[in-house]
Amino acid sequence: MSHKIAILGASGYTGAELVRLISTHPTMEIAALAADRKAGMDMGEVFPHFRHLTLPKLTKIEEIDFNAVDLVFCALPHATSQAVISELPKNLKIVDLSADFRLRDPAAYEKWYGQPHAAPDLQNEAVYGLTEFYREEIEAARFVAGTGCNAATGLYALLPLVMAGVIDTGEIVIDLKTGVSGAGRALKEHLLHAELSEGAMAYGIGGTHRHLGEFDQELSRAAGHPVEIQFTPHLIPANRGILATVYVKGDAEKIHRTLHRAYADEPFIVTLPMHFAPSTRDIRGSNFVHIGVYPDRREGRAIVVAALDNLTKGSSGQAVQNANLMLGEEETAGLTLAPLFP
């Protein structure tokens, strides 16, 4: 017996990634696809890689009969998400992939997003969607807010270490490299092939990237006291994948042991043996996370490297994983696809 799924914002990359994953999911069935500006079109016109699938036509959100839907994935842009979700039936299961409900503190939201939150009640209800650290809350939740893809990558490297107190929380630097699909299907000059390929650049330098709001929130919660890290994302000429290189002060062996233990039973988190380096090519198109640990030549310092696919484990794969829990399904259902290499 399958669950009826609606996807709002189906014409973007995370929407398409949801369709890809659900297309071989054993117990989910796509009942509705909404994309306002492309309403009336076939999904196969918008994304020709879905031409082989039989899918409902794209509609406007208001045309969807939400009574016939078991769970909604909301893959809408920031701010739009708040407005739309406020209007959805209050008993509907929802997984939001936008940035709108990630920050629990309204003041933090306003600080990072530059405006007051329009739906503080919902913000309060939303469970932060980092599955491995909020599993029980997610199982019981009606409404889950997906994490930022950069935040997820850094948090997988750091959360067990901060919880276990094995690193100095005052001295954390995350240098992150991300593929371009994380920026979405937006028509921006720096996302053109001719501008991006053969290049590498930092952006959001100096602590201005919004995902820092999530880092602050989750690392402070884990530490039990305020934690502020340094974080610099870089855009590299690849489509998928995030590599976070995390510089910490602590004992490398202890760090490796802590991560290994923390993730020993996790189906999607692979702690590599000491001295093995993750690469984004090794997780592309999959829900897996690879984490490696190295001691530095300077005693008491270590480097933790984490890699995941921003569209899968960093957003849509995570969303399906959370939906599985919310629907009482096997957590890994539909998510065991191996990475695509080469």
The set of catalytic residues is 149
Using CB under 8 A as the binding rule, whether residue 268 contacts a copy of itself is answered as yes
Total of chain residues touching a copy of itself, rule CB under 8 A = 88
What element of type H or E holds 305?
strand 301-308
Helix (H, G, I), strand (E, B) or coil at 154: helix
Identify residues 14-43 at the interface with a copy of itself (CB under 8 A): 16, 19-20, 23-24
Using CB under 8 A as the binding rule, whether residue 212 contacts a copy of itself is answered as yes
Q: Residue 246 has what DSSP assignment?
A: E
Characterize the bridge pairing of strands 173-178 and 242-249.
Answer: antiparallel
| Relative orientation angle of helices 317-326 and 131-140, to the nearest 10 degrees | 40
Strands lying side by side in the sheet with 71-74? 58-59, 28-34, 3-8, 71-74, 93-96, 143-145, 127-128
Using CB under 8 A as the binding rule, whether residue 301 contacts a copy of itself is answered as yes
In this structure, the number of other CB atoms found within 10 A of the CB of residue 39 comes to 16
| Minimum distance, C-beta of residue 73 to a copy of itself, in the bound complex (Å) | 16
Contacting range for a copy of itself; rule: CB under 8 A; set: 62-70, 140-148, 153-161, 330-338? 330-338
| Minimum distance, C-beta of residue 116 to a copy of itself, in the bound complex (Å) | 22
CB distance 178 to 244 below 8 Å: no
| Minimum distance, C-beta of residue 192 to a copy of itself, in the bound complex (Å) | 5
Phi and psi at residue 192, to the nearest 5°: -65, 150
Using CB under 8 A as the binding rule, whether residue 107 contacts a copy of itself is answered as no
Using CB under 8 A as the binding rule, whether residue 187 contacts a copy of itself is answered as yes
Using CB under 8 A as the binding rule, whether residue 125 contacts a copy of itself is answered as no
Q: Binding string to a copy of itself for residues 41 to 70, with x set by CB under 8 A, is what?
A: ------xxxxxxx-----------------
Q: Binding string to a copy of itself for residues 216 to 255, with x set by CB under 8 A, is what?
A: ------------x-x-x-x-xxxxxx-x-x-x----x---
The position carrying tokens 């984004």 is 280
Is omega for the bond preceding 116 within 30 degrees of 0, making it cis? no
Identify residues 147-176 at the interface with a copy of itself (CB under 8 A): 173, 175
Quote the CA–CA distance of 296 and 44 in Å, as a whole number. 50
Using CB under 8 A as the binding rule, whether residue 203 contacts a copy of itself is answered as yes
Using CB under 8 A as the binding rule, whether residue 78 contacts a copy of itself is answered as no
Quote the CA–CA distance of 269 and 134 in Å, as a whole number. 15
